[in-house]
Amino acid sequence: MSLKTQVSLFLAFVVCLLATQLFFARTNQQTLIDSFSAYQVATNSEKLVRELEREVLDLQRHVLVYKSTGSQSSINRFNELISRVDNSFSALTKILPRELTNEENIALLDVMRQHLNDYEDNFANVILSREARDNYFEEGVIASITQE
């Protein structure tokens, strides 16, 4: 083999190595970008779930506050929170990855949605019961005062 052939083969080998290196570098870069995007989605989803959990706990707290105080501000705050919970829940279901959108998970999400609706209905019943109790108490006090 002549020196010219050896140099040509060496240069061809180096070019092949560089092309292979560029291919793997590009593949690795794309994998990194995809992984980072998936991480961002997971982080945003986790944040949304934490906010949803906190808002549900706030809902429970405001029910207890209303039961003990009967304040209109608790009712207003509960209504604001239920609206935010509903929006957060809708956003969570929209960003759910394809891998998690199977029938079982969809059924679980439907159950969670129904629990939220039931919670809202139960709070409305608590309000009505509190108002009825207050009315009975006032009527009883007024009746006892007028009888004396």
Looking at the predicted structure, is the pLDDT value of residue 148 above 70? no
Residues 6+ apart with CB under 8 A from 41: 95, 97
* pTM, full prediction: 0.66
Q: How far lies 97's CA from each of 32, 33, 34, 90, in Å? A: 19, 17, 14, 14
Distance CA 116, CA 114 (A): 5
1-10, 86-95, 115-124: range with lowest mean pLDDT: 86-95
**pLDDT value of position 45:** 81
Q: What is the pLDDT of residues 4-27, one digit of tens each?
A: 999 999 999 999 999 999 999 999
pLDDT at 48 over 90: no
Q: What is the 3-state secondary structure (H, E, C) of 66-88?
A: HHHHCCHHHHHHHHHHHHHHHHH
Q: What percent of the chain has pLDDT over 90?
A: 32
Among 71-80, 87-96, 115-124, the minimum mean pLDDT is found in: 87-96
Q: Are 66 and 75 in contact (CB under 8 A)?
A: yes
